């Protein structure tokens, strides 16, 4: 399986961690394919999402998500983006919405007027890629996305956990879910979390389990856990490992789609032509935050639901 995160460092929007689970046939070279950089035409459709797509055009990630769901769950072919999110989300809808204040639930979950960005031809191209991968010994079994909203990220910070900790722990959750789905030990190929070299002491859901350190270094840190499998944390994995790049693309679509809901919520209530903010540390996002300040006060939008804080800010506040 390949696991990657999207949205580690922004000011607004969720952290999204995505896992793509496959079954590989070593005799046909499937294990080599998933652990190397995509080649040929496939390299134009799988790779580091930061290089292949932009915030204003992320239909490639949507195409892959729709193709994978259509391939692995043909009876659940989604008819709209919100159905696609429900089909691939690690947590059920009720769990995702549980922390939300009732008076602005649609800040993150309002889906009125949403439509597909990708065409049927885009999805068909990715579906053909899945068939080609299967012929070469790589059967894609599914994709799962863990969504950690701004409020949950801020709650973790108040407990002394960094975003890197939350990212790591979410990767662990996805690994355990894949282990249950597969019914056998898995090998999780994960993008490096925060540039860490040593992960064992930072485990969350996997803490308390026996593990063996196979390797720890700048390029790779690998751990073997009985009853779970192997976790490898790899530097620049989204650019060098096919499965991690695929997870990165799907995750980027999910995060950008959820961020657009935040922008749409404020546009509908102000009537202003607010910028399509990505949520990152850029001038457009700063303008968006400043332009919506009065609206958020009027509608009692909880700050903890809107903008992220950091451990450093929390500590300064406590001092």
- The domain spans of the chain are 2-258
Residues, the chain: 319
**pTM recorded for the entire structure:** 0.93
Q: In terms of Cα–Cα distance, which of 4, 132, 1 is closest to 67? A: 132
What pLDDT was estimated at residue 314?
46
Q: Which CATH architecture has domain 2-258?
A: 2-Layer Sandwich (3.30)
What pLDDT was estimated at residue 8?
92
Cα 35 to Cα 32: distance, rounded to the nearest angstrom: 5
- Alpha-helical regions (H) of the chain: 30-34, 49-52, 59-72, 81-88, 93-97, 106-109, 120-135, 150-158, 163-182, 237-240, 242-270, 283-291, 293-298, 303-306, 311-318
Residue 55 · residue 256 · CB < 8 Å: yes
Cα 35 to Cα 154: distance, rounded to the nearest angstrom: 34
Q: Which residues, listed in sequence order, are joined to residue 201 by a DSSP beta bridge?
A: none
| Residue 66, both tokens | 């729709």
**HSE-CB of 30 using CA atoms within 13 angstroms:** 18
Q: What is the pLDDT along the chain (319 residues), one digit of tens a residue?
A: 999 999 999 999 999 999 999 999 999 999 999 988 888 878 788 866 666 665 555 789 999 999 999 988 777 789 999 999 999 999 999 999 999 999 999 999 999 999 999 999 999 999 999 999 999 999 999 999 999 999 999 999 999 999 999 999 999 999 999 999 999 999 999 999 877 899 999 999 999 999 999 999 999 999 999 999 999 999 988 888 999 999 999 999 999 999 999 999 999 998 888 989 999 999 999 999 999 999 999 999 999 999 999 754 543 444 3
Residues 187, 193, 196, 198, CA torsion sign = negative
| Residue 63, both tokens | 């195409």
Q: How far is CA 303 from the centre of its chain?
A: 23
> What are the backbone angles phi and psi of residue 255, rounded to the nearest 5°?
-65, -45
Cα 286 to Cα 116: distance, rounded to the nearest angstrom: 28
Residue 299 · residue 269 · CB < 8 Å: yes
What pLDDT was estimated at residue 122?
92
Residue 164 · residue 193 · CB < 8 Å: yes
> What are the backbone angles phi and psi of residue 167, rounded to the nearest 5°?
-60, -50
């Amino acid at each position: 399986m390949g696991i990657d995160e999207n949205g580690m460092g922004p000011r607004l929007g969720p952290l999204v961690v995505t896992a793509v689970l496959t079954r590989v046939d070593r005799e046909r070279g499937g294990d080599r394919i998933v652990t190397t950089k995509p080649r040929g035409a496939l390299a134009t459709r799988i790779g580091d999402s930061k290089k292949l797509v932009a915030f204003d055009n992320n239909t490639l990630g949507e195409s892959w998500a729709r193709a994978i769901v259509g391939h692995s769950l043909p009876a659940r072919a989604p008819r709209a983006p919100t159905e696609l999110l429900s089909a691939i989300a690690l947590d059920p809808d009720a769990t995702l919405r549980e922390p939300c204040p009732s008076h602005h639930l649609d800040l993150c979950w309002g889906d009125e007027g949403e439509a597909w960005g990708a065409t049927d031809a885009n999805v068909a191209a990715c579906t053909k890629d899945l068939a080609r991968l299967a012929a070469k010994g790589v059967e894609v079994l599914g994709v799962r996305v863990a969504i950690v909203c701004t409020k949950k990220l801020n709650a973790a910070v108040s407990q002394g956990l960094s975003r890197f900790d939350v990212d790591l722990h979410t990767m662990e959750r996805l690994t355990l879910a894949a282990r249950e789905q597969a019914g056998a030990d898995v090998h999780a190929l994960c993008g490096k979390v925060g540039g860490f070299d040593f992960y064992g002491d930072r485990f969350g859901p996997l803490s308390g389990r026996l593990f063996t350190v196979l390797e720890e270094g700048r390029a790779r840190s690998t751990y073997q856990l009985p009853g779970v499998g192997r976790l490898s944390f790899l530097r620049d994995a989204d650019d060098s490992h096919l499965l991690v790049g695929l997870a990165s693309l799907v995750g980027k679509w999910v995060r950008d789609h959820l961020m657009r809901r935040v922008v749409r919520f404020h546009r509908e209530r102000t009537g202003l032509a607010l910028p399509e903010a990505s949520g990152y540390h850029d001038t457009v996002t700063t303008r968006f935050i400043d332009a919506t300040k009065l609206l958020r006060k009027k509608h009692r939008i909880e700050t903890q639901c809107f903008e992220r804080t950091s451990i450093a800010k929390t500590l300064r506040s406590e001092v």
